[in-house]
Amino acid sequence: MNLDLLISNVTNPAFLFFILGIIAVKLKSDLEIPPNSSKFISLYLLFSIGFKGGQELSHETFSAEIAWSMLFGIGLSLLIPVYTFFILKRKLNIYDAGAIAAAYGSVSAVTFVTAVSYLDIQKLELHGHMVAIMALMESPAIIAGLILMSLFNKDDKDKVKPLSVVKHSLTNGSVLLILGSLIIGFLADAKQAEGIKPFTNDIFKGFLAIFLLDMGIVSGRKLSSFTTNGLFPLLFAIVIPLINGCVVAYLSSFVTHDVANRFIFAVLAASASYIAVPAAMKIAVPKANPGLFLPMALAITFPLNITIGMPLYLSLIN
């Protein structure tokens, strides 16, 4: 069954468009997404993810377990970037270390969708608030990555004040958009929200495909940096997600006893963002190299999670 999931996801149009972008570069094609269009698509994806998460959150009846689960998810997305950043900066520059740390602290919506289908196969039910938690876990990791880059940026001669860094990170356009969209989605009237559903939901996968095509082109141009760093990026993209997933599979028992919720937490902790974080870093930190963090998240960690990770995390929980 895991083989079926793997085949299903590697034949996903969005993933294949990413591969097409890399192939286009290798063939020296003039295929290119105009910069303004690329920026718009990045902003759209952040807006859509945030709004849908807010909508899901508005449909939930709050309980102590949901509140603790939200805090647990946000805590994970703040803690993972911090500890991974200090590992990464031993081998990589500050910008790449911060971007990769943010990617691995954040979550993959596509991996989340795959996890939901895996739950269905296992006859387990997904609880709606976990969708909102998935969206809530996007922003803190981006903020943490930006703060870490600012604090350890040796090029900045001025002493960085943590409060000003937090303010700058929260007012960063990409972070503000996803947080603002989450709040608007939560506050929006359900009937009114239905009116923009075709924009927020129906065309999402199409824009995602074009975004990954653009990311494939950018990555293809900078793939040499992935190979010039030796085995370190490869080992990081394999070992760290498995550690995160296994540890969280255990720690989640202190927050919820529901097997499905614990499984989703483990998968989210083990996943790496290749939508929200690349979209945010493209705008906020253009010096970060997508040819490094995108292949790590998309070509290594993603297939690792859907083939080895998911059965491992579920068996640990059971």
- What are the tokens at 18? 């990413």
Q: Could you please state the CATH topology (level 3) that the domain comprising 34-317 is classified under.
A: Na+/H+ antiporter like fold (1.20.1530)
Q: How far apart are the first and last CA of the chain?
A: 19
Average pLDDT, the chain: 85
* pLDDT, tens only, 152-191: 887 655 444 556 666 666 677 777 888 888 889 989 988 8
Query: Residue 266 in 3-state DSSP?
Result: helix
Query: Comparing 225 with 276, which gets the higher pLDDT?
Result: 276
- Asked whether the predicted pLDDT for residue 281 surpasses 90, the reply is no
| pLDDT grade for 266, boundaries at 50, 70 and 90 | very high
pLDDT of residue 237: 93
265 φ, ψ to 5°? -60, -45
Share above pLDDT 70 across residues of the chain, in percent, rounded to a whole number:
90
Query: Comparing 100 with 13, which gets the higher pLDDT?
Result: 100
Q: Where are the domains of the chain?
A: 34-317
- Asked whether the predicted pLDDT for residue 58 surpasses 80, the reply is yes
Separation between Cα atoms, residue 15 and residue 18, nearest integer Å: 5
Task: Count helices and strands (H / E) in the chain.
Answer: 20, 0
pLDDT of residue 160: 47
Give residue for tokens 């069954």.
1
Instruction: Compute the average pLDDT of residues 116-130.
Output: 83
Instruction: Compute the average pLDDT of residues 271-289.
Output: 83
* pLDDT, tens only, 77-91: 999 999 999 999 999
- What are the tokens at 152? 């350890």
Query: Comparing 279 with 223, which gets the higher pLDDT?
Result: 279
pLDDT of residue 60: 78
Query: Comparing 169 with 293, which gets the higher pLDDT?
Result: 293
- Asked whether the predicted pLDDT for residue 113 surpasses 60, the reply is yes
Query: Comparing 165 with 128, which gets the higher pLDDT?
Result: 128
* Per-state percent for the chain, helix, strand, coil, to nearest 5: 80, 0, 20
- Asked whether the predicted pLDDT for residue 98 surpasses 60, the reply is yes
Instruction: Compute the average pLDDT of residues 249-256.
Output: 95
* pLDDT, tens only, 300-313: 888 888 888 998 99
Within 8 A by CB and 6+ apart from 147, the residues are 162, 165, 166, 169
pLDDT of residue 63: 87
pLDDT of residue 159: 47
Within 8 A by CB and 6+ apart from 306, the residues are 2, 5, 6, 9, 111, 114, 118
